[in-house]
Amino acid sequence: MPARTIDVVIPTRDTRDVTLRCLRALRDTGSEITVRLILVDNGSQDGTVDDVAALFPDVLVCQNAGNTGFAEAVNQGMRAGVGDYVLILNSDSIARPGAVARLAEFLSQRPDFAVAAGRLVHEGTDRPQVGFAMRAFPTLAGQLALMTGFERYWPGNPVSRRQALRDFNYDRTQEVDAQPAGACLMCRRSDLEAVGGFDEGFFYWFEDVDLVRRIRDRGRVGYVHDAIFEHLGGTTFSQWSRPEVIVARYQGSLRYFHKHHPRREVLALRVVIAALAALRALPLALVDRPRARAYAQVLRLALERP
């Protein structure tokens, strides 16, 4: 493989311990590639920045005063680098030896591909994270099944099964017409810059789906089964309050559909979200006012002019 340079962009917020694990794992990347680690800290209060500076002085740290969101943080890190490839990596994704080099090798050998995604497995295992690591692009039916709770109570229903790609073969490197999780995505810098990086109108949720959807116009999307990353999952969102999660999820869904789906589907989604938000806000007003206010905010988002 010809020599390549890679910028690994790692957004983080109050995930010190897993961030340090992530950085330690990235020391073993292979001798034929040059890797620059770029950490974008979104206002951590747990000592992340100080510990990284002390233990990894070669890591470039971009420090923000507050939480700018995932999309803006990745774009900030991307602009700070110059590598041929940009690996977008969650702070709780732990690269196994050779995984980063394998993604770079795939893109080097396949110039028609713009994106390469690794195999995300559960910690300490080789089991792929089915239903998370690879998903079909959102459909109206899939979103309705998720929002109404249909998927939760019947996870094997045909709509959700197709959405979660539960029959996907994780043991084969292949082209995908689907959305790999943004927890581990390697992109050619030229293609990432050509589409303007992430849409910073997304805060969290759906920003990675939107990026892959747009970057497909520049090249194909690949899944590399032997580039393995252990994904711990939920380390950032576990710190969020339930109201914050509610607003971010619905906000991301609405923005994505406004960008990529026909008006009739956008209207249908807005109607369903508005109805669900109203039905949930009313009883919650008596027992959980923060959640009730979150659903009231979702109701306003669904009703406002896009």
| E strand map for 111-250 | 113-121, 134-135, 174-175, 179-180, 184-188, 220-231
User: Looking at residue 223, what is its pLDDT?
Assistant: 98
Q: How far apart are CA 219 and CA 254, in angstroms?
A: 26
Domains annotated on the chain, with CATH: 4-133+170-237 (3.90.550.10), 240-303 (no CATH)
pLDDT digit string (tens) for the chain, length 306 residues: 555 899 999 999 999 999 999 999 998 766 578 899 999 999 999 999 999 999 999 999 999 998 888 999 999 999 999 999 999 999 999 999 999 999 999 999 999 999 999 999 999 999 999 988 999 999 999 999 999 988 888 888 999 999 999 999 999 999 999 999 999 999 999 999 999 999 999 888 899 999 999 999 999 999 999 999 999 976 666 777 888 889 999 999 999 999 999 999 999 999 999 999 999 999 999 899 999 999 999 999 999 866
User: Looking at residue 52, what is its pLDDT?
Assistant: 96
Note whether 304 and 296 are within 8 A (CB): no
The answer, as to whether pTM is greater than 0.85, is: yes
User: Looking at residue 142, what is its pLDDT?
Assistant: 94
